[in-house]
Structure 1
Amino acid sequence: MKVAVLSFAHVHAAGYLRLLSRMPGVEVIGSDPDQDLAAPGEVRGRALADEVGVAYAPTYEEAFAWGPDAVIVCSENARHRPLVERAALHGVSVLCEKPLAASVADGEAMVEACRAAGVRLAVAFPVRFSPAYAAVKAAVASGEAGRVLAVSGANNGSMPNRARRWFAEPELSGGGALMDHTVHIADLLDDLFGDARPVEVYAQTNNLLHADEVAVETAGLVSVTYSDGAVATIDCSWSHPRSHHSWGGLELTVVGERATLEMDAFDQKVHGFDERRGRGTELPFGADLDELMLRAFLYGPEEGGIDVADGEGGLRTLRVVAAAYASAESGAPVAVG
């Protein structure tokens, strides 16, 4: 199987290249011609491909001429649409980094282009593949927890513009922390709740954190009401300090009629203190969620296992984000479009 990674703008691009290069039966090539917006010091293009040890195509045209069976789009959010539409034109399955797009209009166009071409569109939400989430989903699906009444979620992390500057530039990212970190939990709930859909959103944001570095929102709290009456709150802040030993994490508490379920998607780690560096450290073990997601995208889910989010699901989470921005601006609840 031949897989092309298009653009290295996203921080996950290097990880995907490494994982794909180690998968038996997978040939991988990278292409990163659009480096005009990269900040000084960001390792991109052929230099990153050489560092990872994969083949490189100087243009997207050459990457598609190579004949990939699938592509992974890792560009800036605002540049997802043209690459996904190009994949649809070539009849190639595509996994697009989250969020699906920087705007709902672009997301709708991407879904329609892939539907019209009969091409699979998937969205990179690796937290679906967490064993902790699988246990929560099983407890809800079996009825063990009873009807879900409320959910409290937090997706906190470091400000990502320190690795890639464009994350804090709205014309490329679509926003700040609200755009970056709401969608992971919104996707889990989209999968967990099944037919129940988000109907109303209320949100508050600010940039008290890191106000000296960026103008976008760096903290937010989003409340979502679902069609079955459940209410979810999502803390989507870039709240980890520069010196923190971890990039971030994702935690979820699900309150049901008969049980309360708690999960931490990234706590398969040994925690300690590094005397040489004078700060805390973590040694991860357990499942690699990105690898599980890539395998599900390329080969399909295991029997009874989780599948990657599709374009329609990615569009639903994007509409939650759009409603949250409208609510934060107006100060009032906003219906989900």
Structure 2
Amino acid sequence: MKVAVLSFAHVHAATYLRLLSRMPGVDVLGSDPETDLAAPGEVRGRAVADAARVAYADTYEEAFAWGPDAVIVCSENARHRPLVERAAAHGVPVLCEKPLAATVEDGEAMVAACRAAGVRLAVAHPVRFSPAYAAVKAAVAAGEAGRVLAVSGANNGAMPTRARRWFAEPALSGGGALMDHTVHIADLLDDLFAEATPVEVYAQTNNLLYADEVAAETSGLVSVTYSNGAVATIDCSWSHPRSHHSWGGLELTVVGERATLEMDAFDQKVHGFSEREGTGTEVPFGPDLDELMLRAFLYGAQEGAMTVADGEGGLRTLRVVEAGYASARSGVPVAPRQD
């Protein structure tokens, strides 16, 4: 199987190259020609492919001429659309980095292009492959918690601009922390609630954190009311200290009529302290969620197992983000666009 990774703008690109290169029977090619908007000092292009020991194409044309069986798009959010549409035109299944796009209009065009071409469009939401989330979903589906009344979620991370400046440049990212970190939990709830849809979104944002560095919002709290009556709150802030030894995390509390369920998607780790380094340390022992997602995308989910988020699901979460920004600007709840 041939898999091409298009653009290394997103920090996950290097991870995908490394994981794919270790999969038996997978040939990997990287291509990252559009580095014009990279900040000084950011490692991009051939150097990233060389570090992962994978082949490199100087242009996207060369990458598609190679004949990939699947492509993974890791460009800046605002550049997702042309690459996804190019994949659709070549009839190649595509996994697009989250969020689906920088705007709902772009997301709708991407979904339409892939549908018209009969091409699979998936969105990279690896947290849905967490064993902790699987346990929560199973308990809710079995009725063990009763009717879900409320959900409290937090997807906090470190300020990402040291690795990639574009995350805080709305022209390329579509926003700031609200765009970056609302979508993971919104995707989990889209999967957890199945037929229930978001009917109202209220959000507050600010950039009190790192106000001297960026103009985009660095903190946010989003409340989403669903058609089943459940109310969810999502802390999407870039509030994790830069000096911390981990990047951040994702936690979810689901409050039901009969039970409360709690999960931490990334805490399958042994925690300790390094006297030599003078800092905390973590040794993970759980599954690699990115690898589980990639395998499900390339080979399909096993019976009863989690599937990769599709383009329509990615579009629904993007509409929640859009409504969140509209609410933060207006100060009132906003109904997200519906299909």
What is the TM-score when the length of structure 2 is the normalising length?
A: 0.99
2:115 counterpart residue number: 115
1:42 counterpart residue number: 42
1:4 counterpart residue number: 4
Measure, in 1, the Cα distance between the counterparts of 2:100 and 2:333.
Answer: 23
Over 6 Å off, 4+ runs: none
3-state SS of the aligned residue for 1:334?
coil
3-state SS of the aligned residue for 1:182?
helix
Amino acid aligned to 2:140: V
Measure, in 2, the Cα distance between the counterparts of 1:260 and 1:50.
Answer: 47
1:294 counterpart residue number: 294
1:279 counterpart residue number: 279
2:171 counterpart residue number: 171
1:324 counterpart residue number: 324
Per the TM alignment, residue 284 of structure 1 is displaced from its structure 2 partner at its CA by: 1.1
2:305 counterpart residue number: 305
Deviation per residue, 1:102-140 (Å, 9 max, x gap): 000000000000000000000000000000000000000
Could you tell me which runs of 5 or more consecutive residues in structure 2 were left unpaired when the two chains were aligned.
none
Deviation per residue, 1:61-98 (Å, 9 max, x gap): 00000000000000000000000000000000000000
Deviation per residue, 1:126-176 (Å, 9 max, x gap): 000000000000000111111111000000010111100100100000000
Measure, in 1, the Cα distance between the counterparts of 2:185 and 2:230.
Answer: 14
1:197 counterpart residue number: 197
1:64 counterpart residue number: 64
Amino acid aligned to 1:119: V
Deviation per residue, 1:257-298 (Å, 9 max, x gap): 111000000001111111122111111111000000000000
Per the TM alignment, residue 213 of structure 1 is displaced from its structure 2 partner at its CA by: 1.0
Once the two structures are superposed, the pairs formed by residues 7-86 of structure 1 within 5 Å of their partners are 7-86=7-86
Per the TM alignment, residue 185 of structure 1 is displaced from its structure 2 partner at its CA by: 0.0
1:209 counterpart residue number: 209
Amino acid aligned to 1:191: D
Per the TM alignment, residue 303 of structure 1 is displaced from its structure 2 partner at its CA by: 1.3
Could you tell me which runs of 5 or more consecutive residues in structure 1 were left unpaired when the two chains were aligned.
none
Per the TM alignment, residue 42 of structure 1 is displaced from its structure 2 partner at its CA by: 1.1
1:233 counterpart residue number: 233
- CA root-mean-square deviation: 0.5
Per the TM alignment, residue 203 of structure 1 is displaced from its structure 2 partner at its CA by: 0.2
Measure, in 1, the Cα distance between the counterparts of 2:81 and 2:172.
Answer: 12
1:248 counterpart residue number: 248
Amino acid aligned to 2:241: P
1:95 counterpart residue number: 95
Deviation per residue, 1:19-70 (Å, 9 max, x gap): 0000011000000000001111111111111111000000000000000000
Measure, in 2, the Cα distance between the counterparts of 1:105 and 1:258.
Answer: 41
3-state SS of the aligned residue for 1:335?
coil
Deviation per residue, 1:229-259 (Å, 9 max, x gap): 1000000000011101110100000001111
Q: What count of residue pairs does the alignment treat as equivalent? A: 337
3-state SS of the aligned residue for 2:115?
helix
3-state SS of the aligned residue for 2:75?
coil
What is the TM-score when the length of structure 1 is the normalising length?
A: 0.99
Amino acid aligned to 1:109: A
Per the TM alignment, residue 12 of structure 1 is displaced from its structure 2 partner at its CA by: 0.2
Amino acid aligned to 1:182: T
3-state SS of the aligned residue for 2:273?
strand
Instruction: Give % identity.
Output: 87
1:259 counterpart residue number: 259
Moved more, 267-276 or 163-172: 267-276
